[in-house]
Structure 1
Amino acid sequence: MSYSAYFEQAREQQLNELKEWLSIPSISALSEHKKDIHQAAEWLAAKLTAAGLENVEIIPTKGHPLVYADHLHEPGKPTILVYGHYDVQPVDPLHLWETPPFEPSIRDGKLYARGATDDKGQVFLHMKAVEAILKQEGKLPLNIKFCIEGEEEVSSPNLLEFLQTGAERLTADAVLVSDTSLIEKGKPAICTGLRGLCSLEVAVHTANTDLHSGSFGGGVPNALHAMVSLLATLHDDKGRVSVPGFYDDVVPLSEEMRTEFLKQGFSESKLQQELALDSLYGEEGYSFVERVGARPTLELNGVYGGFQGEGTKTVIPKEAHAKITCRLVANQNPQDILNKIERHLRAHVQPGARLEIQQGEKANAFNIDPSHAFLQAAADAFEKVYGVRALFTKDGGSIPIVETFSRVLAAPVVLMGFGLPDENLHAPNEHFNLENFDKGLLTIVEFLKSV
């Protein structure tokens, strides 16, 4: 039986199984869902066993458990480590969901539920692809391991710790991850870069109390004025970050990579229209896809202080606050960037204002050469199923564990996603297009049989 016929015959049963998993509210960020997290891990372990995987284990951590499985019967053949996560984001705001987030439903060829595309649906594809090969052929063409975690949505703290002590167990020739998306319907992509991340919170303090603007205005420092003028020094009028040394380690975009970006055929005018913007904005000299995929940024995520209630209150605020994050590219060191930003802020704070800075999270960027044989095999697999060769892209987001896998395991990471950019991951009405469910199964089979 062909794989197309096999999956067509198994489709209804497989979708019903996926719906079972999606019905479990495995929200890692909320402690009240701890039992649901364990239920989701147990469900996955049972299905991995049923699929023919061996050495299936639920590995306890200080937080939510890891689920491990393998099938290692092909000495001399490559070993692939499949990584994904079974935890999901919170569902707020609940009233914006058309159907309950943990009552999966199919509408217009799309499966709606929290976790449908991020990441249960995509993990499910790998499990069922392996099961199909074992049922069809009785053996796998290579060796495979699964490591599926329950804390990706809260920054993978315990998987990082596990990698420090248990990396040998996860040793592989390549890591396969499906937690990204196609460029658009029918246009597959393989991500060759993920931006890193660093964050900090800034507070400006002036007087020891809020002051009456009539009695003190114009004669004492205003914390909001000080904060606004300070933040204005972070960028120039051409969209570049003004922090000294911010771009020192940024590798220039190659002509080959810029050509790959052009092949995406991205319409900036369409995006502008969809977002109801008069114009786009960003670092001069780069297209939108280059700015958000391959250039570093410094963004203000929140600025607040002073009176914010209804009406007017004529005060001079004693303090103001800002939250800042940076998206970083290959070779930029998060700690180095934080230190440079802090030095810049301290050098530019207004007289009479005191600065308090708290450095936050740090994650390295990930980058891989698209000419690597495993990535070329993935592009071939996409082409056989979709009829279009995958483009090599860079993603503006961050999946910190990907860089860690690449570095600790010294293995290439193949980011082979089957979602679509408009599937509302992290938002109400998250869904998974079933066209990519069907084609994803066939693509993974092709990839596993070709490497």
Structure 2
Amino acid sequence: MSEDTLRDTVASLMGRARADLTELVSFRSVADAKIAPPEECAKAAQWVIDKFTEAGLRDVQGSPTPDGSLAVHGHAPGPAGSPTVLLYAHYDVQPPLGDDAWATPVWELTEKDGRWYGRGAADCKGNIVMHLTALRALRQVYGEFPCTVKLICEGSEEQGTGGLEEFVPPNADLLRADAILVVDTGNFAQGVPTLTTTLRGMTAVDVTLTALGSAMHSGMFGGPAPDPVAGLIMMLASLHDERGNTTIDGLNATQRWNGVDYPEAQFRVDANVLDGVELMGEGSVADRLWARPTATVLGIDIPPVIGSTAAVQASTAARVSVRVPPGTNARQARDALIAHLRARVPWGLRCEFADAGTGEPFIGSLNGPAFDAMKAALEDAYGRPLATAGQGGSIPLCGVFAETFPDAEIMLLGVEEPKCLIHAPNESVNPAEIEHTALAEALFLKRYAESR
């Protein structure tokens, strides 16, 4: 059978892919019992078990992880001596962030202007459907898989509670592979085949300032009474200079990105930057986004404007996150952030810090037989050269994979692209991205097996 037959077969399966995604999106699988019933995640996990069993995998089952989520895993043995490839995705999704902000029903896959809308349509249920489409096409064309295929599908990735990260090391033999496809990223732009080669790590700390035994009337005591809100604002302002560059003592913020360029005009559109508002920092967008540390204030505990009173607050708190590029240790960045803020506490305010999470940066495979096969497969599936990009987000699981399987080639790809609006209202996926990425994965599995 020719590879043209494989291409035609993937195209013929897109109707089934839409039906699959319609079912999968209907599960409100937010891995937070305060937002969605836990049985919704259980239904999604069972759906994954059933569909991958139908697609030809064996012993597909859900195993509990330390955070209570189910990790779905299974395998299909390939010919003797063939390599093993582990396929990753996750079936949990972000909260919808309010039904009123959506132009289509949140949990109902809806076609509009050629795109498929619904929470999880891209991140990451579209990637699950892509895996299914690739595997079905291979079996339909060749009758079997060309190599050993393993699956691991996570149920709490969006919550960041680390269930699968803790599951992997003690279950290394279950998941061991020569190549690992972490399918939870996507293309730099629609129709541009892309491997994500770096991930920024992250660290976050909570800082609490306390000055008074209770809030006090600002008319009677404001002025000499130490104001922790004003003090916190001063401390947070020190994290950036007047141009918006991150300025944390001890962290280098001058690195350069050598991969694909990210035009400022495109970034402004992708990031929904309002007309007339300038971007923060200096250097190229790619430098700032993928190669340098960046500080972000994620939240502040102070009274909201509506309902506020004329009072000096007794205490206040903020959560500060720092994204760190490869080459910077996330734990050292956390220590530098704490030292930077502690050195700027004004007026002797009482200051406490608490760790709010840390994940190390990651560099994916850039050479080897799996990389060569994937590069060729993506270029043939899309009909244009491969791009390599960084990602500002963090996937701590990649570091766990790298530590547990140091000899494996690890590559990041997927159906997502900027127009998908992942993590935001009106998430969508372009079905062409599912089709092309499924073809690339099928071609990769065949060619990687042949190269060994």
Is the pair's TM-score, using the shorter chain for normalization, greater than 0.5? yes
Whether 1:47 and 2:51 are equivalent positions in the alignment is yes
Instruction: Give the whole-Å Cα distance in 2 for the aligned partners of 1:204 and 1:408.
Output: 40
Determine the structure 1 residue equivalent to 2:61.
57
Q: Please tell me whether the aligned partners of residues 272 and 278 of structure 1 are also in contact (alpha carbons under 8 angstroms).
A: no
Deviation of residue 207 (structure 1)? 2.0
Determine the structure 2 residue equivalent to 1:188.
193
Gaps of 5+ in 1: none
Whether 1:89 and 2:94 are equivalent positions in the alignment is yes
1:253-275 Cα distance to aligned partner (Å, 9 max, x none): 3xxx52x333x555368549952
What is the correspondence of 1:235-384 to structure 2 with a 5 Å cutoff?
235-247=240-252, 252-253=255-256, 257-258=257-258, 260-262=259-261, 264-265=262-263, 267=265, 271=269, 274-284=272-282, 286-305=283-302, 308-309=305-306, 313-384=309-380
Instruction: Give the whole-Å Cα distance in 1 for the aligned partners of 2:103 and 2:340.
Output: 47
The equivalent position to 1:160 in structure 2, one of 165, 169, 180, is 165
Q: Which moved more, 1:415-424 or 1:210-219?
A: 210-219
Q: Which moved more, 1:368-377 or 1:115-124?
A: 368-377
Whether 1:80 and 2:85 are equivalent positions in the alignment is yes
Deviation of residue 16 (structure 1)? 1.4
Q: Please tell me whether the aligned partners of residues 173 and 412 of structure 1 are also in contact (alpha carbons under 8 angstroms).
A: yes
Q: Please tell me whether the aligned partners of residues 330 and 366 of structure 1 are also in contact (alpha carbons under 8 angstroms).
A: yes
Instruction: Give the whole-Å Cα distance in 2 for the aligned partners of 1:251 and 1:22.
Output: 42
Deviation of residue 369 (structure 1)? 4.9
Q: Please tell me whether the aligned partners of residues 209 and 350 of structure 2 are also in contact (alpha carbons under 8 angstroms).
A: yes
1:73-99 Cα distance to aligned partner (Å, 9 max, x none): 323222110011111122231122223
| SS of residue in 1 equivalent to 2:317 | strand
Deviation of residue 37 (structure 1)? 1.3
Instruction: Give the whole-Å Cα distance in 1 for the aligned partners of 2:201 and 2:367.
Output: 22
Aligned residue type for 1:18:
L
Deviation of residue 238 (structure 1)? 4.5
Return closer, same or farther for 1:40/1:218 CA change in 2, 3 Å cut-off.
closer
1:334-391 Cα distance to aligned partner (Å, 9 max, x none): 2222222222222221124111221211111111353444233222112112111121
The equivalent position to 1:8 in structure 2, one of 7, 11, 30, is 11
| Percentage of matched positions with identical amino acids | 29
Instruction: Give the whole-Å Cα distance in 2 for the aligned partners of 1:195 and 1:358.
Output: 21
Instruction: Give the whole-Å Cα distance in 1 for the aligned partners of 2:411 and 2:270.
Output: 31
Instruction: Give the whole-Å Cα distance in 2 for the aligned partners of 1:108 and 1:273.
Output: 21
Determine the structure 1 residue equivalent to 2:234.
229
Whether 1:435 and 2:435 are equivalent positions in the alignment is no
Q: Which moved more, 1:418-427 or 1:191-200?
A: 418-427
Determine the structure 2 residue equivalent to 1:22.
25
Instruction: Give the whole-Å Cα distance in 1 for the aligned partners of 2:442 and 2:103.
Output: 34
Q: Please tell me whether the aligned partners of residues 251 and 331 of structure 1 are also in contact (alpha carbons under 8 angstroms).
A: no
Instruction: Give the whole-Å Cα distance in 1 for the aligned partners of 2:268 and 2:63.
Output: 47
1:113-172 Cα distance to aligned partner (Å, 9 max, x none): 211111111111112211221221122222110001111111152212211311121111
Deviation of residue 51 (structure 1)? 0.9
The equivalent position to 1:100 in structure 2, one of 85, 100, 105, is 105
1:217-263 Cα distance to aligned partner (Å, 9 max, x none): 3323222222122222333334443333223xx8943xxx52x333x
Instruction: Give the whole-Å Cα distance in 2 for the aligned partners of 1:269 and 1:297.
Output: 16
Return closer, same or farther for 1:92/1:220 CA change in 2, 3 Å cut-off.
closer
Return closer, same or farther for 1:266/1:136 CA change in 2, 3 Å cut-off.
farther
Q: Please tell me whether the aligned partners of residues 10 and 134 of structure 2 are also in contact (alpha carbons under 8 angstroms).
A: no
Whether 1:33 and 2:37 are equivalent positions in the alignment is yes
- Cα RMSD (Å): 2.4
Return closer, same or farther for 1:408/1:100 CA change in 2, 3 Å cut-off.
same
Instruction: Give the whole-Å Cα distance in 1 for the aligned partners of 2:105 and 2:130.
Output: 23
Aligned residue type for 2:145:
L
Q: Please tell me whether the aligned partners of residues 20 and 129 of structure 2 are also in contact (alpha carbons under 8 angstroms).
A: no
Instruction: Give the whole-Å Cα distance in 1 for the aligned partners of 2:311 and 2:161.
Output: 44
Instruction: Give the whole-Å Cα distance in 2 for the aligned partners of 1:6 and 1:240.
Output: 50
Instruction: Give the whole-Å Cα distance in 2 for the aligned partners of 1:126 and 1:436.
Output: 12
The alignment's TM-score, normalised by the length of structure 1, stands at: 0.91
Instruction: Give the whole-Å Cα distance in 2 for the aligned partners of 1:5 and 1:22.
Output: 26
The alignment's TM-score, normalised by the length of structure 2, stands at: 0.91
Equivalent residue pairs, number:
442
The equivalent position to 1:67 in structure 2, one of 65, 68, 72, is 72
Determine the structure 1 residue equivalent to 2:418.
421
Instruction: Give the whole-Å Cα distance in 2 for the aligned partners of 1:17 and 1:305.
Output: 45
Aligned residue type for 2:153:
I
Aligned residue type for 2:433:
N
